[in-house]
Amino acid sequence: MMRMALNPEQERLLKRVYQSLADRPLEPGDPFYEPIYQRPEGEDPVAMLKRRISYSDVESLHLFSGFRGTGKTTELLRLGAELEQQGYLVLYASALEYLSGSEEVDIVTMLMAVAGAFGEQIEKKTGTAVSKEGFWRRIGNYLSKTTLEVSELSPKLEIASPAKSILGELKAGLDLKVALKTAPSFRQKLHDFMANRLGELKREVNAFTEEGVKAVRDTRGQPGLQVVFLFDQFEQIRGSRTNEQAVIRSVERLFANYMEALRLPLVHVIYTVPPWLQFVLPGAFSIEILPCVRLWENDRQRSRYPAGWRSFREAILKRFTKEGFRRLFGTDTEIGQGMADKLIAQSGGHFRDLLRLFREATVLVGSWRPTLPMTPEVLQRAIANVRNEFLPISAADARWLAEIGKLRNTALPDSSPENVGRLSRFLDTHLVLYLTNGEGWYDIHPLIREQVEALARLPLPPKT
């Protein structure tokens, strides 16, 4: 059978819709933004954070988390915009600009990265330099001075000693900001050298931060100006398969042992942290976690939750426009919405997967079944294609996932780095979803439910 080609106008429509379905953080005021968490029936972690900050005095520390693709950065930017409307100065930095996403992190590296980011962002946002030298040169001078003092006290230092090595690299014009992110050997030497001087480093960071806040207050003539610093994307520091457990342990140590050191004077600071932190340090501190959009209730039947469906329908309609939706799904409103609902149901309430499913259907219309409105076959193929990105699933993983689907909790055997890392991968890859209805709960992704149930029924292999 000869395939019909789409006309140029239809191709332009599909291209526009495809581009509108791009997964990207949305700035406040973006026409595609859907206030999913601001609805009366919703639970808004951003509102909780804003309230905690407003109830604090001049400084505070908060932890915020969300799983990949749930819109965490978009919601964090909304928080910043709302606080700015209330008169706060809000600074934003990505941790991945200052830290390696695949290496262990320690308190020395973290303090330097946070202070360096704070100094750069305050100058970028306000035009006010914290000091003539900036943080990187300032801390470089401090390290040079300190290593020289150590060398004078111990003139017979070996060539491999951290102090002598650091001093040599600093004299050679080492870029501290770049080294923190890209030079593991230097970071280790720096940590070894500063381990017994953490108090001195913290005082340097505190003094620099205070100078920055006071400089902006003086420049603006606002002595009571409050500053908020959003240190985003730290949750993406997760390591690789070869060092994942070591990275998990390093992040755990950082927050278990140095939480107070991560406070900044005169600043409300928010760190985005990995969601699994609550598994390894239960009850240690409060973490506001951004859930997936709840499309079903936490009951055996997974009864439909109408408010969640309304949110996703409206979000998709903003991307398509009413006319675009009618062109792609047909003029019969009930039939067209029913077709779109098939994709919404398979998204699991995960916003990134929602966009992936509709994007895949848009591509298939143009390349596989070039006819508008789209057909049910296109939807089934789109679902199958996105499902294939989740597969294969091992039988061992399927048994754990089936238990999660049955119990609606993590079914985590223990808090060992191995099991935490495995559960973290389930969450990062959306095999497992985090939802809330007053209390948090977990479920497996609708795209893989049938495959998980089938694999979990397979007999265990014989023990050798």
Last residue of a domain, one of 272, 290, 308: 290
1 pLDDT more than 50: no
Q: Per the domain annotation, does 196 fall within a domain?
A: yes
Give, for 456, the enclosing helix (H) or strand (E).
Answer: helix 449-456
| Same domain flag for 185 and 230 | yes
Bigger pLDDT: 460 or 412?
Answer: 412
| Integer angstrom CA distances of residue 184 from 104, 109, 181, 201 | 9, 11, 8, 20
Note whether 364 and 448 are same-domain residues: no
Return d(Cα 172, Cα 370) in angstroms, integer: 62
Mean pLDDT, residues 169-198: 84
pLDDT value of position 382: 97
Contacts of 335 (CB under 8 A, 6+ apart): 329
pLDDT in tens, 262-313: 999 999 999 999 888 888 888 788 899 999 999 999 999 999 999 999 999 9
Identify the pLDDT of residue 402: 97
% of the chain at pLDDT higher than 90: 66
User: Are residues 277 and 307 both part of a single domain?
Assistant: no
Task: Report residue 342 CA to chain centroid gap.
Answer: 28
Do 428 and 384 share a domain, yes or no? no
Q: Are residues 323 and 442 in the same domain?
A: no
Where does the pLDDT of residue 9 fall: very low under 50, low under 70, confident under 90, or very high at 90 and above?
A: very high
Judge if 59 and 126 occupy the same domain: yes
Residue 444: pLDDT above 80?
A: yes
Based on the fold, state whether residues 137 and 52 are members of the same structural domain: yes
Residue 3, in any domain of the structure: no
Domain-embedded: residue 37: no
Query: Could you tell me if 109 and 187 are in contact, meaning their C-beta atoms sit under 8 angstroms apart?
Result: yes
Q: Are residue 347 and residue 227 in the same domain, yes or no?
A: no
Domain membership of residue 347 as a residue range: 8-25+296-388
Task: Indicate the residue among 259, 290, 321 that finishes a domain.
Answer: 290
Model confidence band, residue 167 (pLDDT cutoffs 50, 70, 90): low
Query: Above pLDDT 70, what percent of the chain?
Result: 93
What are the tokens at 324? 């675009």
Grade residue 400 by pLDDT with cuts at 50, 70 and 90: very high
- How, if at all, do strands 60-66 and 89-94 pair? unpaired
CATH number of the domain enclosing 194: 3.40.50
* 422/315 same-domain check: no
Q: Would residue 227 count as lying in a domain?
A: yes
pLDDT in the model for residue 70 = 82
- Please indicate, yes or no, if residue 463 is contained in any of the structural domains: no
pLDDT digits (tens, 9 = 90+) for 78-110: 999 999 999 999 999 999 999 999 999 999 999
pLDDT recorded at residue 159: 39
User: Given 372, 388, 404, which residue is the final one in a domain?
Assistant: 388
Mark whether 352 and 425 lie in a shared domain: no
- Written as one string, the DSSP assignment of 216-275 is HHHHHT-TT--EEEEEE-GGG----TTTHHHHHHHHHHHHHH-TGGG--TTEEEEEE--T
Compute the distance between CA of residue 351 and CA of residue 293 in angstroms, rounded to an integer: 8
**Do 198 and 347 lie in a common domain?**
no
Per the prediction, the chain carries an average pLDDT of: 90
Higher pLDDT, 241 or 76: 76
Count of the separate structural domains present in the chain = 3
Kindly state whether residues 339 and 417 are assigned to the same domain. no
Cα–Cα distance for residue pair 223/213, rounded to 1 Å? 10
